[in-house]
Amino acid sequence: MIKFSASLVLVLLVATACSTSRSSRAVRFTEQEQANLVVRYYTDDTSYVLKPAKTDGAFLAVLNKDAVLDVAKQQPGRELAVVILIHYRAQSEADVVKQDWVKLLKEAGYQRVVFLRASDGMQINGLPVLGGGG
């Protein structure tokens, strides 16, 4: 019994160490100041443009995808666009969203498109960078 308990503790320690090291190695975004456009995307009908901030009074305006693209096309600089994504149930869903945004933003003239994983707040720097950008 003691041998089994010791083995179980060892397995749990290894599993915890592995998951901790993976999350600590995640690349974190640090280019908020250089971004020309930052969009927090939920659905094609619900997005917020954080940079340049698009507001409706004191609150961020809810924009559909076409309105977001209109804002994107008005920016004088188009080096870096950032799209903050919520968590999707399936990676295939996230991949479709990313491919669509890359296509649209590249057509609008953006050189780089970076995807970030959303958190509860509206912070940008420090969010984990997701693969699959352009």
**Tens-place pLDDT, residues 60-71:** 999 999 999 999
Joined tokens for residue 107: 């057509």
Pairing type for strands 46-51 and 37-43 reads antiparallel
The stretches in the chain having pLDDT less than 50 are 4-23
What was the pLDDT predicted at 52?
97
Extents of the domains making up the chain: 28-130
What was the pLDDT predicted at 122?
80
SS3 71: helix
What was the pLDDT predicted at 17?
43
Tell me which DSSP letter residue 34 carries.
G
What was the pLDDT predicted at 2?
55
Residues in the chain: 134
What was the pLDDT predicted at 44?
97
Measured distance CA(32)–CA(52) in Å, rounded: 11
Tell me which DSSP letter residue 32 carries.
G
Measured distance CA(64)–CA(14) in Å, rounded: 45
